[in-house]
Each structure stands twice: as structure tokens, then as C-alpha cells.
A and B are shown apart, each in its own frame.
Chain A
Amino acid sequence: MSKKTNARLTAYYGIMLSICLIIGYIEAILPLNIGISGAKLGITNFLILLLLKRNGLAAALGINIARILIINILFGSVFSLAYSMIGGLASTLLMYFLLKIPQLSDLGVSAAGGAMHNLSQTLCAAVMLGTPSVLKLLPPLLLVGMVAGIFCGVLTHIINGRLRFNSQP
């Protein structure tokens, strides 16, 4: 890899990370109140999917981990860190494998990722709290995750088609 591509990639990943952080900040100050505790849109997911498609698993995971660390140091606690890390890693990995299935579009992949995010977080909460009763939040959370995921999938689909600059290494 030449010096030029290296600098280009560093700038590209930096921009991606800062967009993730700004969206995360806006989501943190604008809580989405739909009657389900802790539910939010998770718009950053569309950038993670975009990174998975354009730059591969390592880039998407790296940016996601950095994003979760920074967002939780700024707005969260150790508890919310563990919790979002598990959701972020599980959904990124699932989307990575689902992208390999040709019958699925961005919308399906992203919907599954959104549902997986909420599923893994709820399981994580059940284990951390030592009680299965948290699992009762799962039915609405799965559906909300799916709808938010479809929304993000549409964003990814539109933006991926319009990105002009070449971000491939």
C-alpha cells in the first residue's frame, strides 16, 4: 500500500468515525419515546453496513468498536459500554455473513442486523441481571429493531449508489 492510499484511507475512516459520533450524539440528546425503554433508531448502523460493503469486516468492526468506546465514555457508563459493545459486535458480524447471500438486499441484511442488535442486548441484560424476565421485552424490541434496520438499509442503499469518491484501498 502506497503512502498516498494510506493517508487517503486514514482520512476516510476518520470522517466515517466522526459522522458516526455526530449521529450518536444527536441520538443521545433526542431520545425517541415510543413507550419501550431504551429504544432508539440506531442510525449509525447504516454507516457500519456501508463500511462492511465497501471496506470489509475489519474496517467496519474497527470503526464500530471505536465509536462505541467514545460514545459510552462521553454519554454512558461501564454498564452501557458492555451492553452496546455486545449489540454492536453481534449485529456487525451477522450482517457480514448475511451480505454474502446474493438473495438478500441491503434492506434485509440491515433488518436482520437491527433485530440481532436488540436480541443480543436483551440476552446480555438477562445474563447480567441474572433473570430471564427481561426476555419479555424481546417481542417489541425485535420488531422495532427490524423496522429501524429497514430504514437504515434504505439509507445504505441510496448512499452507496451515490458515493462518488473512491474509498477502496
Chain B
Amino acid sequence: MFKKGDFAVFTIIVLISAVLFFTLFGGEGKRVTVTVGGEVYGEYSLKENREIKLRTSKGTNTLVVKDGEAFFKDSDCPDKTCQKSGKISNLGETIVCLPHKVIAEVVE
């Protein structure tokens, strides 16, 4: 079923993602930056536990910072992808809410 060239394709894809992984990710982050439509909305320390209501022109998301991790608790968008995305704590990890154009990213 396989041919020789297939393994070249697989190797190239794995290499690209490995290179991307090591260039894009670092260690543990200290703060989480929230941008809405490309503009910075706010920056929050991961050390302080808190709940932030992000009010955008398209809807509201609730971002929760707890025990050094950030996650979306609630969103009034239809797909709820951001809620299902889980918790982020490492440098460079992101959660994206496409309908509201909200991005939360862990930074230094």
C-alpha cells in the first residue's frame, strides 16, 4: 500500500512541525495577554487568581486565572471552542475564540 515517496512526505511533515514546535514554545509563562481583533485588551498575571469578563463588540467571554493556569469559563458564542480548549500555562500557549476574535496567550 505504501510507496517509498510516502515516507519522504511523512518525514517532511514531522520535521516541519518539530521545527515549529521548538521555535514557538518555551518554558512556563508568567502572564496571559488578551487581544481582541489584534488589539491588546489586557494583561493579567498568572500568579493572581481572578475572573475577567471580556466584553467585545461581538459578545462576552469569561477568562479565569487560577493556580498559574488560564482558561475560558464561559462564552456567549455559538461554538464554545474556547471553553473546550482547556487550560494554558506554558509560554506561547494560546486559546482562540474565532467568533469574537479573542486570543489569550501566555507570555513571559
- Tell me the A133-160 residues at the B interface (CB within 8 Å): 133-140, 142-143, 145-146, 150, 154, 157
Q: Are A134 and B81 in contact (CB under 8 A)?
A: no
Inter-chain contacts of B14 with A (CB < 8 A): 143, 146
A38 within 8 A of B: yes
Q: CA of A115 to CA of B84 in the docked complex: distance in angstroms?
A: 23
Shortest Cβ distance from residue B96 to the other chain A in the assembled complex, whole angstroms: 6
Q: Are B103 and A129 in contact (CB under 8 A)?
A: yes
The stretch of B15-23, B49-57, B60-68 that contacts the partner chain = B15-23
A10 within 8 A of B: no
In the complex, the number of residue pairs spanning A and B with C-beta atoms less than 8 Å apart equals 103
Q: Are B38 and A111 in contact (CB under 8 A)?
A: no
Inter-chain contacts of B92 with A (CB < 8 A): 133, 136
Q: Are B17 and A129 in contact (CB under 8 A)?
A: no
Measured as residues with beta carbon below 8 angstroms from the partner, the interface class of chain B is: 35 or more
**Interface residue ranges, B against A (CB under 8 Å):** 1-10, 13-14, 16-18, 20-21, 24-25, 35, 37-38, 78, 81-82, 84-86, 92-96, 98-99, 101, 103, 105
Selected A-B contacts with CB under 8 Å, 29 pairs: A38-B81, A79-B98, A101-B5, A103-B4, A104-B3, A105-B2, A105-B5, A107-B1, A108-B2, A108-B3, A111-B6, A112-B13, A115-B13, A125-B96, A129-B38, A129-B101, A130-B38, A131-B35, A131-B103, A133-B105, A134-B94, A136-B92, A136-B105, A138-B20, A139-B17, A139-B18, A142-B16, A142-B20, A143-B17
**Interface residue ranges, A against B (CB under 8 Å):** 33, 35, 37-38, 77, 79-80, 83, 98, 101, 103-105, 107-109, 111-112, 115, 125, 129-131, 133-140, 142-143, 145-146, 150, 154, 157
